[in-house]
Amino acid sequence: MHICFDTAAEIYDKTRRLPNHVMEQLVNRMTDELKDYQTVLDVGVGTGRFAKPLQEKSFKVVGVDLSGKMLNKAVEKGVKDLFRCDVCFLPLTSKSFEASLCIHVLHLINDWKMALKEICRVTRKIMVSTINVHKDPVRQAYNTMLEDLGYKRTRPGKDEWELQGFVKPKKSVFAASYNNRADEHLENLAQRAFTSQWQIPEEINKKVVAELKEQFAGKTFSQELRVLIWDINDLESIALTSQRS
């Protein structure tokens, strides 16, 4: 099972946006970490949030995604070298990229081990991702309330936090800190913008969000972003071991 973002393409950028200065800092940090690697595969490129600024900085970025509608949004932005395909079966030559980006993708894929194996197959040096250091209290409260109502949050694959438990990144680099506005998160939850919400009945979602607004409206929370860099050999080892087991 893979989660395709066709249904979220029209609202994706709005509901995943970072403050402009934070996005600039994050891209600059990525640029620093990728400076020795010119060929980059962006796995789950989506609307090109990272591919576009990296291409503008002269990196040779190729983007792949399962969602045709997300790729269309990337094309509208001027992102080049995009291909629609399944990350578990990449139509790419082995070791054809020096680095890969894999940002908030593996948790969407049931056979995440196969996806990781394919990323390792086509990548020579490193895989780069990002992570939010602090858990979002609004999302945590949302998930708890849903569980109390009998709707347990499930993810097909593994996120960056969980991947760190399988293999430690070679580097974890500070990118930016900023304040999160709870009101913006509440608005996104009201739109059912996140994959974990898509199976929640509309009336249940409305009820939970209404209760959350009473608790969190007007509040802000601090957040920190870090860039994670994995050595591809370390990831390849765990991917092969996981598959055999």
- Tell me if 184 is assigned to some domain: yes
Residue 19 sits in a domain whose CATH number is 3.40.50.150
- Predicted pLDDT at 2: 67
- Predicted pLDDT at 154: 78
Q: Give CA–CA dist 109/34, Å, rounded.
A: 26
Report CA torsion sign: 54, 28, 237, 107.
negative
Q: Whole domain around residue 195: which residue ranges?
A: 6-244
- Tell me if 165 is assigned to some domain: yes
Domains: count for the chain: 1
Whether residue 245 is predicted with pLDDT greater than 80 in this model: the reply is no
In one-letter notation, the amino acid at residue 105 is V
Helix (H, G, I), strand (E, B) or coil at 81: coil
**Contact predicate 146/204, CB 8 Å:** yes
- Tell me if 192 is assigned to some domain: yes
DSSP category for residue 94: T
Q: Give CA–CA dist 65/85, Å, rounded.
A: 6
- Tell me if 1 is assigned to some domain: no
Cα distances from 117 to residues 68, 126, 235, 236, 242, in angstroms, run 23, 13, 8, 6, 10
Average pLDDT, the chain: 93
Q: What is the pTM of this model?
A: 0.92
